Structure formats: structure tokens, C-alpha cells
Amino acid sequence: MSSNGSVVLKTDYDQNAGTYTYSLISTATGDIQSITPPSGVTYLNLSGLSADGKTVTGYYSDAVTGRKTSFVWTAANGFVDLGVVDTDTTGSFAQSVSGDGTAVAGYVSVMSFMAEAFYWTSSEGMIGLGTLGGRDSYAYAVSTDGKTVVGEADTLDGNYHAFRWTVDSGTMENIDTLYDNSSADFVSDDGSVVAGSGYTSSSSPYHVFRWTKETEMVDIGSLGGSYTFLNAMSGDGNVLVGSSYLTGDTSSHAYRYVGSTDVMTDLGTLGGTSSTASAVNADGGVVVGSATDAQSTSHGFRWTQANGMVTVEDWLAAEGATIGDAMTQTADLVSADGNVIIGETTTGSTYIARVIESQGEEGGNECNADVCEGGSGIIDTAEFFPTVAMANNVIVQSGVNNADTIMFGAQGAPMRNLLTAGQRSVWGTIDGGYDNSDHADGGLALGEFGFGYGIADGVTARFAVGGTYTDQDLDAGGDVRQRGFYLSPEVSADLGNNVYATVGGYWGRSSVDSNRGYLNGAVTDYSEGDTNAETWGAKIRFDWLNAVTIDDTAITPYVGLSYAHTRVDAYTETGGSFPVEFDGSSDHSTIARLGADFVRPLNDTVRLLAKAELDYQFENRATATSGTLTGISDFSLEGQDLQQFWARGGLGAEFDLGKGVASFMVNATTKGQDPTVWLRSNYTVKF
């Protein structure tokens, strides 16, 4: 797992298919980056992830050579072979990678029956570290700065001892002064502190040690039982945490050991019989883990010297958050300052809990220099991040959908506004409707004024200026409001035989206000943001004017193609406990339309209008959403699936009114990218 808990390295096995899948998973979003083994690989082991979450190390088996090969993998470069120590190397097994991914430690097999620890950098390649006089050595960890390697190595007497190797010394140092056998498993960020396990015989209990140059190896003791286990060490190496058995070895408790005082503290339980510490913050003052209550139910806990062990829920409640039912099962990671905890919920999803200590009198969040740090609370990422994607998708999709609706809705009847040479027209159009999408529903309205001119016989130019307004209620709470204007020119030309081509364009700009709702514990919280969106589009359509007349009904078939592209500026939410900083995003739609317009005169002044249309969108997925959950981690979320095929129908009338023609049409669609239902009304005067 990465140091901030935002990325987890995971291997899954499908028992039915008998296959493995490998991936990096965002703990915040669930977003998956697949790691596909190279061609010819029969076995892949992922053994380490860099602190920044970008580099994976491990080893795989080549089907051709049968050799185990160590690698580093990044999304940018894929698999990079780490090579060999020398010609006697018959396999290599990478175990750990430095914080920035530039150094790797592990071990190689030598002539298939010996092992030697190795250290690798991209500049120096792979070098062997030797042994402590015996046959084998194994490296298990490399420091965050990439300069210190720790592990175990055989001695001349046949035992194995913990070792420490540094780039500066280039020598393997035996640091075991207590046990017959020992192994170094953890190393501090700067390599000055080492921790691991040891025992005096194959049947003796496990112990945990801490080593520095000044103190040498120190056994940290136990809580009265025979076994002590180490799970984490603070970055500076001063605090170790894990679990230790009590007297009688029937149950174990979480412990916190402080190297500077050589004191182990029993952290207790939540009223049950067992607990274990999983992680510790940077200065060692905050410990997190899991513990049972009196009903033997596991909860995530947070421990401090001042407050002792409390559930994550109680910690949040004490800071003013409304939590409701217990939802944490574990606490697996803690931030450097101890105020962010990541763990597993009772349903198996990931939660993020946070407390902001400076919240002011109202308990709100802190915003400085337009950056909001959020507030106190807890979110289930499986429920929270869909609200983030939902808000972004509504904003972006509204832009492209409005453009398409205008080009084939408000301006969807070019054959009703054809002009002779020198003739002019003016019109006003008002559209209003309702849209019910997968993640939001609400109203939309637009108003348009336009001017047309007959350039020549059979050629009509039109130019429209309009305004738009949408208000979409988000399914998870809150809404998105957009106000904008647009400019839209188009030209229709007779190609002969009553076939007309219409070519048009669209440009619009809108301001967006977002009020995103999400569940924070037991209450709905809201974070607000505002941004701007810009959309441009183009269309082409061909109409065969009055191609067929059946029982006085003139039928004009048409085919059209539109393209719209929306760009939304980056913006930062304010308010609420978990605001988001959204990256800028863009999306587009390409829609083909096949339809027919129907006109049937009722008398000299009134005509019935109808429309039937089939639509197909070429894109099947909306744009991804990326940004930062403020103060916690970056995220990237896949876009929602788009419905690609839908149908549209309309029914209305037009009638002569004064010096012009008034018309209205009620339109409806199956679920698609057009509004669910809307009314188009128009008044056109030709002169």
C-alpha cells in the first residue's frame, strides 16, 4: 500500500477460471489500473509498492527459460527487467522498492541452490550483497530514501541473523546480538533504525527487536505471553506497533513500544478480548487498528495517550460529527498527522474518516487562498465517489446535450423556414422541458431569437442568439444549475430535386453552480462549487422536402449528423466536510439521426405537425472524472455508460397568426441523450 493509503496493490484468484488478475486499486475511488503480465509469463508475484504508489516490484516466471525474473513496473513504462547479479544467477526475487521507485532490494538464486541478497538501481543495475559467512542471504526491505537494505543472512555456524547494508558502506553488517536466529523486516525512512523478529530455537516463541547503532539490538518484550508480532514502525523508527499475547497465550492485545524509553504499552480493547495495531502516524502519537467489543464484534480504533482506545466512530462524534450506526470494522492506515484514517467498513468497502481540528465556532471547514481543507466526518468511498462522478457528468453532459437539443430541437425544422432570394424572416422560439437521466432529473428552458435571409433562390441563411437554463436535481442530494447563452448560424441549400442540405454551427458559454450532496456518517452533507463551461458544435442534415404525400400528409424524410464538444474549467468546492478539487474536463458527442417530418393541413390556416426520429450516439461512455479529495488523495473515476440508441417523437400544430406563423410541438424521447419531454413553441414572420 502507498504511504498515504491512496493506492493498494492487489492480486485476485478466480477459482472457477483458475486465473489470477493483478491491479493497483485506489482506496478512495475503487478505480483499477490493471497490470497485465508480459507475453509468455506463467507466474507473476507482486511483492512491493513504492511509497508514492507509482512503482510496483516483484518477479515472474518466463515460460521459455523457466527463470524467475525480477522487475519494476510503472503505468508509463510497463515491465522493466532488473537483470542479474552475474552469470551464476539462475533466478531473482524482488521484495521491496524505495519511496520513489528508483531502488529495489530482494535476492537471487545462485546456481539454483544458493541465495544472495541484491540491491538494484537503474543507474548501477543489480549488485550482490554477499552473506554473513554462510551460504544464503535474503533482503526483505529497502529504506524510503533507497540507501539502506535489511534482511537476513546465514552465518558460519549455520544460523541466520538480521543484517543491515548501506550504499555508503557497501558492507553487510550482522546486527544480531540477542538471538540464535533473527530477521530484519522493517527499516526507518532514513535507514538508521531497524526492526524485526527473532528467536533462540526452532521451538521458542517469537520476539520483536529494535536496533540502532547506539543501542544495538533491543528485545522489546511482551505483554506477558510468549509471542509478540510487529505490524508497523513509525517513519523515524521510534515507535513500533503490533500485537502481543497476554499471560497464558489465550488472547492478544495491541501494543505500542517506544524505543526512546524502552517501554511497551498495552493498548487494551473495546471491551472484548482481542485487538491488534495496524499502523502508526509519523510521530508515533496515534495508533490505529482493530479491536473487539463485549459482543466480539470488531471495530476500527484510534488510540492516543490522552484518550486511550476509542472507536473511530466515537473519535469522530467527539469532534462534532454525526455518525449513526457503527460502520467501521478495521482501521488500517493513518495519515502523518493522525487525523485521517482509512479502513474497511462492515460491508467490506473502504471508508475515509477525518477530523479537522480548526473548524471555527460553527464547525465548518477551513478555507484559505481559495483552498478548502474540509471538515470532520466519515465517508464510505463506495457511496461517496459516485456522487463526485455524478456531479461532473451532469455538468459536462448538459453542455453537449444542450447543443444537440438546440441544433436538432429548437432549430430542428429548417424546412419550415425556407426563404426566396431577398426574403427575410425573424422568429422567436421558447423551449421548456424535463429531463430524467440515470443520475439526475430536472427542468430545462431556452429562449431564442433569430434572423433569416434568402441569399439566392434555394439558399437560406439563418442566425440565432439564445439563452439556456437548466436545473438538475442530483439523485444523491443537491443540484446543478447552468445559465448560458449561445450563437448558432446555419445555411440551407437546394441540391436539386427538392433535396436540401443544411449545415450549421453552435457556440455557447455557461456558468455552472454545483451543490453536491453526499452521505457523511448519518447525515447528508453538501459541498458547493462554481465553474464555467464552453461548448461548440456542428451539424449537417439532408432533407428530401415533401418526398411523399399520403392522404394529404406531406412526408419529409431526413438524415443528420451532429457533433458537440464541451470543456469545463477546473474548480474547487467549498463547504461540507469532504469537498473536492475537480480537474478541468471535456467530453463530446457524435449523434446520427434518421427521421421524418409530417405536415397535414386541416384547413387554409391550420396544419398538424408530427416528427419521428431514431438516434444513435457513437460514444458509449462519458468522460472520466479526476481531481483531489481535498487533503486526502487524488482520484480518477471512469465515466458513466451512455445509452447509444433511442427514439424520439413529436406532435404539434402550426397556424397562421397575424403576419406570421405560430407553432408548437410536444416532443418525447425514450431514455437517451435528448430531454425526456419538452415543448417547442415558435413564432416566425417572413417579409
pLDDT above 90 as % of the chain: 66
Q: What is the pTM of this model?
A: 0.77
CA 126 to chain centre: 35
- Considering only CA atoms, which of 61, 76, 57, 174 is closest in space to residue 121? 57
pLDDT tens sequence across 225-258: 989 999 999 989 999 999 999 999 999 999 999 9
How far is Cα 507 from Cα 489, in angstroms, rounded to an integer? Answer: 9
CA 411 to chain centre: 39
Residues 6+ apart with CB under 8 A from 250: none
Per domain, the residue ranges of the chain are 82-220, 221-358, 381-686
How far is Cα 311 from Cα 269, in angstroms, rounded to an integer? Answer: 10
Q: What b/e string do you get for 467-487 counting C-beta neighbours within 10 Å, with b at 16 or more? A: ebbbebbbbbebbbbbebebe
CB-facing half-sphere around the CA of 437: CA atoms within 13 A: 25
DSSP state of 384: H
Tell me, which fold does domain 82-220 have in CATH? Neuraminidase (2.120.10)
CB-facing half-sphere around the CA of 453: CA atoms within 13 A: 6
pLDDT tens sequence across 432-485: 888 877 666 888 899 999 999 999 999 999 999 999 999 999 988 999 999 999
The residue whose grid cell reads 455538468 is 395
Enumerate long-range contacts of 212-221, CB under 8 Å, 24 or more apart: 212/237, 212/259, 215/259, 216/175, 216/177, 217/162, 217/175, 217/176, 217/177, 217/178, 217/182, 218/259, 218/262, 219/178, 220/257, 220/262, 220/264, 221/257, 221/264
Between residues 276 and 367, which one has the greater pLDDT?
276
Above 90 in pLDDT, residue 614?
Answer: yes
pLDDT tens sequence across 353-404: 988 865 444 444 444 434 445 578 898 888 888 899 899 988 998 889 889 8
- Structural element, H or E, at residue 405: helix 381-405
CB-facing half-sphere around the CA of 87: CA atoms within 13 A: 0
pLDDT tens sequence across 14-68: 777 778 888 887 765 666 788 988 888 888 999 999 988 899 999 999 877 778 9
Mean pLDDT of the chain: 90
Cell readout for 166 is: 548501506
The architecture in CATH of the region 381-686 reads Beta Barrel (2.40)
How far is Cα 229 from Cα 233, in angstroms, rounded to an integer? Answer: 12
Backbone phi, psi, residue 198, to 5°: -160, 160
CA distance from start to end of the chain: 73
Cell readout for 177 is: 546480538
Residue 627 corresponds to which amino acid? G
The predicted structure's pLDDT at residue 34 = 86
Pair 513, 552: CB distance under 8 Å: no
Farthest CA pair distance, the chain: 113
